[in-house]
Structure 1
Amino acid sequence: MCRNFVILLFFHICGCKELFDFRDKNKGSNCDVVFLSDSVKNGTITSPLYPSPYPARTICRYEFQGRGKERVQTIFQEFNLYHPRDDNRECDNQDTLIAFVQIEGRMEKIDTFCGSTLPRPVMSNGPRLKLEFHAVYGSRYSRGFKATFSFIQNFGIKVGVQLPDYPCAFVFNSNETRSGHFYSPNYPGFYPRDTECYYFFHGNQGEKIHLHFNYFDVEGVFPCEAKSASDYVEFSNFVSQDRKYERHCGQLGEFDIESDRRFFRVTFKSNDRLDGTGFNATYQFLDKVESFTTRSELTNETAVLKDIDGFITILFFLMIKLIR
Structure 2
Amino acid sequence: MCRDNVMEMPIVFLLLHLFLIFTAHAVNPGCECLLFSATYGKDYGSFSSPDYPHPYQDNINCLLYTFIASRDEIIEITFKDFDVQKSHLDCERGDFLKLFLHLERPEVNEYTPWSGLLCGGFTDIPHVLYSSGPGLVLEFHTDRKTSNASGFLGHFRFIDRRMFQTDGQKLPGTMCDHQFISSNYSLTHGRFYSPRYPSSYPKNIKCAYRFRGRLKERIRIVFEEVTLQKGDL
Instruction: Choose which of 207, 210, 213 in structure 2 pairs with 1:235.
Output: 210
- Superposition deviation, residue 83 in structure 1: 1.6
In the alignment, the residues of structure 1 paired with residue 68 and residue 105 of structure 2 have an alpha-carbon distance, to the nearest angstrom, of 16
- Superposition deviation, residue 119 in structure 1: 2.7
Matches within 5 A, 1:75-224: 75-85=78-88, 88-89=89-90, 91-100=91-100, 101-102=102-103, 107=108, 108=112, 109-116=114-121, 117-136=124-143, 137-140=145-148, 142-154=149-161, 190-191=200-201, 219-220=203-204
1:63 match: 66
Percentage of pairs with the same residue: 23
Q: What is the TM-score with the length of structure 1 in the denominator?
A: 0.43
- Superposition deviation, residue 147 in structure 1: 1.7
In the alignment, the residues of structure 1 paired with residue 99 and residue 163 of structure 2 have an alpha-carbon distance, to the nearest angstrom, of 18
1:44–1:13 Cα change, 3 Å: closer
Aligned structure 1 segments of 4 or more residues deviating by more than 4 angstroms: 10-14, 38-41, 103-106, 154-157, 181-187, 262-266
* Structure 2 counterpart of 1:20, one-letter code: L
**Which entry has the higher C-alpha Rg, 1 or 2?**
1
- Superposition deviation, residue 54 in structure 1: 0.6
1:47 match: 49
In the alignment, the residues of structure 2 paired with residue 133 and residue 64 of structure 1 have an alpha-carbon distance, to the nearest angstrom, of 14
- Superposition deviation, residue 34 in structure 1: 0.5
Contact in 1 for aligned 2:80/2:127 (Cα 8 Å): no
In the alignment, the residues of structure 2 paired with residue 112 and residue 31 of structure 1 have an alpha-carbon distance, to the nearest angstrom, of 19
Backbone CA RMSD of aligned residues: 4.4
Contact in 2 for aligned 1:73/1:123 (Cα 8 Å): yes
1:20 aligns with 2:16: yes
In the alignment, the residues of structure 1 paired with residue 52 and residue 188 of structure 2 have an alpha-carbon distance, to the nearest angstrom, of 45
Query: Is the strand fraction higher in 1 or 2?
Result: 1
In the alignment, the residues of structure 2 paired with residue 114 and residue 155 of structure 1 have an alpha-carbon distance, to the nearest angstrom, of 32
Query: Is the helix fraction higher in 1 or 2?
Result: 1
- Superposition deviation, residue 135 in structure 1: 1.4
Deviations 1:1-42 (A, max 9, x none): xxxxxxxxx88556x9x66129xxxxxxx8531011485673
Which stretches in structure 1 are left out of the alignment for 5+ residues? Answer: 1-9, 23-29, 167-171, 175-180, 194-218, 221-229, 240-259, 267-275, 279-324
* Structure 1 counterpart of 2:73, one-letter code: E
Deviations 1:269-293 (A, max 9, x none): xxxxxxx659xxxxxxxxxxxxxxx
In the alignment, the residues of structure 1 paired with residue 106 and residue 17 of structure 2 have an alpha-carbon distance, to the nearest angstrom, of 30
In the alignment, the residues of structure 2 paired with residue 233 and residue 120 of structure 1 have an alpha-carbon distance, to the nearest angstrom, of 30
Which stretches in structure 2 are left out of the alignment for 5+ residues? Answer: 19-30, 171-186, 223-227
In the alignment, the residues of structure 2 paired with residue 162 and residue 37 of structure 1 have an alpha-carbon distance, to the nearest angstrom, of 27
1:131–1:106 Cα change, 3 Å: closer
SS of alignment partner, residue 232 of structure 1: coil
